[in-house]
Amino acid sequence: MNQSQQSELRAWADALSRADGERAAMGRAILMLLDRIEELERELSERTVPVSMEEQFRLDDESADQVKFDLAEDDAEDRLSVEDTQPISLRDRIRGAVAGRRHDDDE
Protein backbone atom coordinates (compact mmCIF):
# COMPACT_ATOMS: atom_id res chain seq x y z
CA MET A 1 0.00 0.00 0.00
CA ASN A 2 1.55 3.30 -1.01
CA GLN A 3 1.47 6.52 0.99
CA SER A 4 -1.34 8.16 -1.00
CA GLN A 5 -3.58 5.12 -0.49
CA GLN A 6 -2.86 5.17 3.23
CA SER A 7 -3.66 8.89 3.42
CA GLU A 8 -6.93 8.42 1.56
CA LEU A 9 -7.90 5.48 3.74
CA ARG A 10 -7.00 7.46 6.86
CA ALA A 11 -9.28 10.31 5.72
CA TRP A 12 -12.15 7.83 5.17
CA ALA A 13 -11.51 6.20 8.55
CA ASP A 14 -11.38 9.59 10.27
CA ALA A 15 -14.72 10.56 8.73
CA LEU A 16 -16.22 7.20 9.72
CA SER A 17 -14.98 7.54 13.30
CA ARG A 18 -17.01 10.77 13.66
CA ALA A 19 -20.22 8.96 12.65
CA ASP A 20 -22.58 7.14 15.02
CA GLY A 21 -22.68 3.52 16.11
CA GLU A 22 -21.02 0.79 14.08
CA ARG A 23 -19.55 3.19 11.55
CA ALA A 24 -17.59 4.97 14.27
CA ALA A 25 -16.26 1.61 15.49
CA MET A 26 -15.27 0.66 11.95
CA GLY A 27 -13.47 3.97 11.50
CA ARG A 28 -11.55 3.54 14.75
CA ALA A 29 -10.64 -0.03 13.76
CA ILE A 30 -9.32 1.13 10.38
CA LEU A 31 -7.29 3.86 12.09
CA MET A 32 -5.81 1.31 14.50
CA LEU A 33 -4.87 -0.96 11.59
CA LEU A 34 -3.26 1.91 9.70
CA ASP A 35 -1.25 2.83 12.78
CA ARG A 36 -0.10 -0.77 13.10
CA ILE A 37 0.87 -0.88 9.42
CA GLU A 38 2.98 2.25 9.85
CA GLU A 39 4.60 0.81 12.97
CA LEU A 40 5.49 -2.45 11.19
CA GLU A 41 6.84 -0.60 8.14
CA ARG A 42 9.01 1.54 10.42
CA GLU A 43 10.34 -1.59 12.20
CA LEU A 44 11.03 -3.23 8.86
CA SER A 45 12.97 -0.25 7.55
CA GLU A 46 15.10 -0.16 10.74
CA ARG A 47 16.19 -3.78 10.38
CA THR A 48 19.55 -4.55 8.91
CA VAL A 49 19.70 -6.03 5.46
CA PRO A 50 19.66 -9.84 5.76
CA VAL A 51 22.64 -11.80 4.56
CA SER A 52 22.09 -13.51 1.23
CA MET A 53 21.70 -17.28 1.15
CA GLU A 54 25.03 -17.62 -0.66
CA GLU A 55 26.85 -15.69 2.05
CA GLN A 56 25.16 -17.68 4.81
CA PHE A 57 26.32 -21.00 3.41
CA ARG A 58 29.64 -20.01 1.84
CA LEU A 59 32.41 -22.39 2.77
CA ASP A 60 35.68 -20.96 4.03
CA ASP A 61 37.68 -23.73 2.47
CA GLU A 62 37.12 -24.01 -1.29
CA SER A 63 38.43 -27.58 -1.29
CA ALA A 64 35.73 -28.66 1.16
CA ASP A 65 33.16 -28.81 -1.63
CA GLN A 66 35.34 -31.08 -3.75
CA VAL A 67 34.08 -34.66 -3.50
CA LYS A 68 35.96 -37.58 -4.98
CA PHE A 69 34.20 -40.75 -6.06
CA ASP A 70 35.85 -44.10 -6.50
CA LEU A 71 33.46 -46.06 -8.70
CA ALA A 72 35.64 -49.17 -8.52
CA GLU A 73 34.60 -49.63 -4.90
CA ASP A 74 30.89 -49.45 -5.65
CA ASP A 75 28.92 -52.65 -5.84
CA ALA A 76 27.41 -53.54 -9.18
CA GLU A 77 23.87 -53.09 -7.87
CA ASP A 78 24.63 -49.59 -6.54
CA ARG A 79 25.82 -48.19 -9.86
CA LEU A 80 23.61 -45.69 -11.55
CA SER A 81 21.68 -46.88 -14.54
CA VAL A 82 19.39 -45.30 -17.11
CA GLU A 83 16.44 -46.76 -15.21
CA ASP A 84 17.37 -44.72 -12.13
CA THR A 85 16.76 -41.46 -13.98
CA GLN A 86 13.37 -42.29 -15.45
CA PRO A 87 10.31 -40.49 -14.04
CA ILE A 88 8.33 -42.62 -11.61
CA SER A 89 4.61 -42.29 -11.06
CA LEU A 90 3.21 -41.83 -7.58
CA ARG A 91 1.68 -45.31 -7.74
CA ASP A 92 5.10 -46.82 -8.55
CA ARG A 93 6.71 -44.87 -5.71
CA ILE A 94 4.15 -46.19 -3.25
CA ARG A 95 4.60 -49.74 -4.52
CA GLY A 96 8.37 -49.43 -4.14
CA ALA A 97 8.05 -48.05 -0.62
CA VAL A 98 5.67 -50.83 0.41
CA ALA A 99 7.88 -53.48 -1.18
CA GLY A 100 10.91 -52.04 0.58
CA ARG A 101 9.13 -52.12 3.93
CA ARG A 102 8.05 -55.69 3.40
CA HIS A 103 11.63 -56.58 2.50
CA ASP A 104 12.88 -54.88 5.68
CA ASP A 105 10.30 -56.69 7.81
CA ASP A 106 11.35 -60.09 6.42
CA GLU A 107 14.94 -59.63 7.56
Q: What is the tally of structural domains in the chain?
A: 1
Is 73 part of any domain? no
**pLDDT digit string, tens, across residues 26-82:** 999 999 999 999 999 888 888 766 666 666 666 555 555 565 656 555 555 555 555
Residues 6+ positions from 16 with CB-CB distance below 8 Å: 23, 24, 26, 27, 30
Question: What's the whole-number mean pLDDT along residues 88-99?
Answer: 82
pTM of the model: 0.44
Is 40 part of any domain? yes
Is 96 part of any domain? no
Give me the helices (H) in the chain, please. 3-17, 22-46, 53-56, 90-106
Is 54 part of any domain? no
Is 28 part of any domain? yes
Is 9 part of any domain? yes
Is 74 part of any domain? no
Is 56 part of any domain? no
Residue span of the structural domain in which 37 resides: 3-46
